Amino acid sequence: MAAGTIQQGREREIARLNSRVVTLEAEVRRLETALESTGRGEIQGASEAPYSTLFNHATDAIFITDIETRRHRYANPAAARMFGYTATELCTMGVE
């Protein structure tokens, strides 16, 4: 395979990943805004299913952590694989 073809493939993959990051960042901002607007940390009227699917099928580790207790409330399957614990075990841990 020619070096130019390899470079083009890498550039396409980088562009695809950058696009995914931008999409995820936009979703995070939207969720943060929704959480702030409720004042109670709940998203009113939002369907849970898309977020549950994203959480459970992401290839990156995702934790949902209580900022007051600094304990993980939820950990996705990718986090369990990456850190070698079950999701339940990860939820007994916290952030220092």
- Residue count of the chain: 96
Arithmetic mean of pLDDT over the chain: 79
The yes-or-no verdict on residue 43 having pLDDT over 50 is: no
The yes-or-no verdict on residue 83 having pLDDT over 80 is: yes
Most confident of 4-13, 40-49, 64-73: 64-73
- Let me know: does 72 contact 91? Beta carbons within 8 Å: yes
Q: Tell me, what's the pLDDT at 14?
A: 82
Q: Tell me, what's the pLDDT at 57?
A: 86
Mean pLDDT score, 82-87: 92
CA distance linking residue 48 with residue 68, whole number of Å: 23
- Statement: the pTM of the whole predicted model exceeds 0.85: no
